Amino acid sequence: MAATSPHLPWWNDRVGYQVYLPSFADADGDGWGDLAGLTARLDHLAGLGVGLLWLSPIHPSPMADHGYDVADYLDVHPRLGTLADVDRLVAAAEARDIKVLLDLVPNHTSIAHPWFARARRDREDPYRDYYHWRDPAPDGGPPNNWTSVFGGPAWTFDETTGQYYLHLFAPEQPDLNWDNPAVAEEFDAILRFWLERGLAGFRIDVAHRIIKAPGLPDQPVVPPELRPTDHSGRSADHHAIEHIHDEDQPGLKELHGRWRRIADDYDALLLGEIYLLEPATLARYLADQRGLHLAFFFGLVEARWQPEALATMLRAGEVTGPHLAWVQSSHDRSRAVTRYGGGATGRRRALLVATLTAALPALPVLYQGEELGLDDGEVPVEAMQDPLALRSGGALSRDPARTPMPWRDEPGLGFTSGQPWLPEGGRRRGDTVEAQETDPASPLAAHRRLLATRASLADLRHGEVRWVGEAPPLLAYDRGQARVVANVGSSPVALPLEGSAWRVAFATGGLAEGARLEGGAELASEQAAILVRDEAQTP
């Protein structure tokens, strides 16, 4: 991996990769991915060019939301491994120059967490104020009109003490009360516990929803005709109100700044999941660089194939500054290949977008299987595990994006020797790592070449970005002496190349890698390339 400029943070030179641990690699044959399985597969990530690994939650949990309902922040779920397994993973990753981020879930705990067990036992218990409790409304119903991401009211009545508790997600995930200073102190200790073990930082779950408006007032109701028909992984109930009191609240930056001061003691990264699609809003969290170091930009995750909107989305960094993590897929949404048309068409388009984002500041992040060109897996309704699916009768499900990683063409896909927790997804031999390893035309081979090109050209990581083509079908930007180009249209386009000759450093198709271009060239439909001025030196 190339050395980082002394003026840039260590993550600037790296490529991120999200591991959804239950579905990545199972070492003990129980059908669930685990830390030992991931450790055994680190060479795959190193060979791909990954330098930063984001690990989904590993903590003890009843798995009502597959680990995002945490019962103990300072330990590991026995199904996933032990603290010693964490240490082995971190050491093995470090030996391959891979840093490991842990998923931090600060908005809510599990109902099985000891804090909540104490809180629901007695209104006078010191842990009561760790959560949001309210008396019923005059009609006996919920205290306000807030709704859950997973459907229904964001409140559940607890008969033991005769009050409702707040949960923006599942009833098994009660929201923490960050107005209580004791909660902040608990998390200070949690962050330091993991950073002392050698973790390189945290991906912070729903970093924009942790603090709520004082008094928890009713939200404005969205008229039915203005509600989206595509629920984008959220219930229709969630879209029925305008979320002005349960997200993007004053006080969040102060909280992020508190964590930043801890992270800076360890040169650790804070990467926020801020699911707000307007770049100007994201910029408020990032501009002064006193809180989160980076935030995901989810415009591409929410998009289908939208050539006319690509340039606008990719220029979000001009508003936020060079502090974005670029993703097209995640464990929460349909995979990019499926959203972009599926099959060969979807794979071609996803690789094009990956090329466009690979050289944007600061951090491209792949979701597991993206390097294989995977589309959504096939999961029948009766086999779905996602709480969103269970509450919607299968109409909304994140399970197709979470099916097991296909390593080999055999029962269990090389993921497990047992029965996988989710169906295998209808994968074919060509989807597997084993098949793509030896196929120079495979998505895996293309992603390896793309990331190797990014690593070999310092300008793709350190240079200033200057857009030179933002009108579809031709999108292009320069970064130092390199140029990233893409034809998002359905017909070939002329590629004007001013000045001296250019060399093709990487191409998704059409252009020959290594070829020297003078004056211009033709770029095939839905193809992308990285060019470098022929006199530019590769370090």
What CATH number does residue 436 fall under? Answer: 3.20.20.80
Measured CA to CA, the distance from residue 135 to residue 152 in angstroms comes to 18
For residues 229 and 150, what is the distance between their CA atoms, to the nearest angstrom? 16
3-state secondary structure 451-486: HHHHHHCCHHHHCCEEEEEEECCEEEEEECCEEEEE
- pLDDT, averaged across the chain: 95
- The per-residue pLDDT for range 95-117, each reduced to its tens digit, is 999 999 999 999 999 999 999 99
- Compute φ and ψ for 491, nearest 5 degrees: -135, 155
For residue 283, being part of any structural domain is answered with yes
Residue 325, beta-bridge partner list: 296, 363
**Do 193 and 280 have their domain in common?**
yes
Tokens read off for 351 = 């690789």
- 3-class DSSP assignment, residue 520: strand
Q: Residue 535 catalytic? A: no
Residue 226 within a domain: no
Task: Please tell me the distance from the alpha carbon of residue 307 to that of residue 203, in angstroms, as a whole number.
Answer: 30
pLDDT per position in the chain (539 positions), as tens? 444 455 789 999 999 999 999 999 999 999 999 999 999 999 999 999 999 999 999 999 999 999 999 999 999 999 999 999 999 999 999 999 999 999 999 999 999 999 999 999 999 999 999 999 999 999 999 999 999 999 899 999 999 999 999 999 999 999 999 999 999 999 999 999 999 999 999 999 999 999 999 999 999 999 988 887 765 667 888 889 999 999 999 999 999 999 999 999 999 999 999 999 999 999 999 999 999 999 999 999 999 999 999 999 999 999 999 999 999 999 999 999 999 999 999 999 999 999 999 999 999 999 999 999 999 999 999 999 999 888 888 888 999 999 999 999 999 999 999 999 999 999 999 999 999 999 999 999 999 999 999 999 999 999 899 999 889 999 999 999 999 999 999 999 999 898 879 999 999 999 999 999 998 899 999 999 999 998 744 44
Does residue 439 carry a catalytic annotation? no
Rounded Cα–Cα distance for residues 289 and 312 (Å): 24
The 3-state DSSP class for residue 172 equals coil
16 burial via Cβ count (<10 Å: 0-12, 13-18, 19+) = buried
- Regarding whether 327 and 277 lie in a shared domain, the answer is yes
* 154, 205: one domain: no
Please state, in angstroms and rounded to a whole number, the distance separating the CA atoms of residues 271 and 99: 13
Q: Are residues 341 and 434 in the same domain?
A: yes
Options 273, 375, 376, 399, the catalytic residue: 273
In a domain, 46, yes or no: yes
Domain assignment of residue 476, given as a range = 464-533
- In the structure encoding, which two tokens stand for residue 4, read together? 């980082």
On whether residue 525 sits in a domain, the answer given is yes
Q: What angle do CA 487, 492, 495 make, to 5 degrees?
A: 65
Residues sharing a CB contact under 8 Å with residue 382, sequence separation 6 or more, in sequence order = none
Asked if residue 167 lies in contact with residue 245, where contact means CB atoms within 8 angstroms, the answer is: no
Q: Which residues does residue 17 pair with via DSSP β-bridges, in sequence order?
A: 53, 366
Residue 479: give its domain's CATH number. 2.60.40.1180
Q: Is 171 inside a domain boundary?
A: no
Q: How many residues does this entry show for the chain?
A: 539
Tokens of 268: 């650790």
Q: Are 87 and 236 in contact (CB under 8 A)?
A: no
- CA-based nearest residue to 36, from 97, 92, 101, 74: 92
Tell me whether residue 39 is in a domain. Answer: yes
Residues 185 and 145 in one domain: no
What distance lies between CA 16 and its chain's CA centroid?
10
Q: Which two tokens stand for residue 6?
A: 């002394």
> 76 with 135, same domain?
no
Q: At which of 166, 199, 234 does a domain end?
A: 166
Strand partners of residue 483:
478, 531
Query: What is the distance, to the nearest Å, from the Cα of residue 101 to the centroid of all Cα atoms in its chain?
Result: 12
Q: What is the 3-state secondary structure (H, E, C) of 395-408?
A: CCCCHHHCCCCCCC
- Mark whether 258 and 375 lie in a shared domain: yes
- If asked whether residues 202 and 326 sit together in one domain, one would say yes
How many domains is the chain built from?
3
Q: Same structural domain for residues 259 and 119?
A: no
Are 316 and 369 members of one domain? yes
Residue-by-residue DSSP string for 368-401 = TTGGGT--PPP--GGG---HHHHHHTTSS-SGGG
Angle between helices 343-358 and 307-314 (to 10 degrees): 20
Q: How many CB atoms lie within 10 A of CB 40?
A: 13
3-state secondary structure 181-228: HHHHHHHHHHHHHHHHCCCCEEEECCCCCCCCCCCCCCCCECCHHHCC
In a domain, 235, yes or no: no
Residue 359 shares a structural domain with residue 280: yes
**What CATH number did the domain enclosing 132 receive?**
3.90.400.10
Of these residues, 34, 103, 205, 399, which one is catalytic?
205
Query: In Å, how far from its chain's centre is CA 372?
Result: 17
Same domain as 84, residue 39: yes
Query: Distance between CA 539 and CA 520 in Å, rounded?
Result: 26
Decide if 241 is inside a domain. no
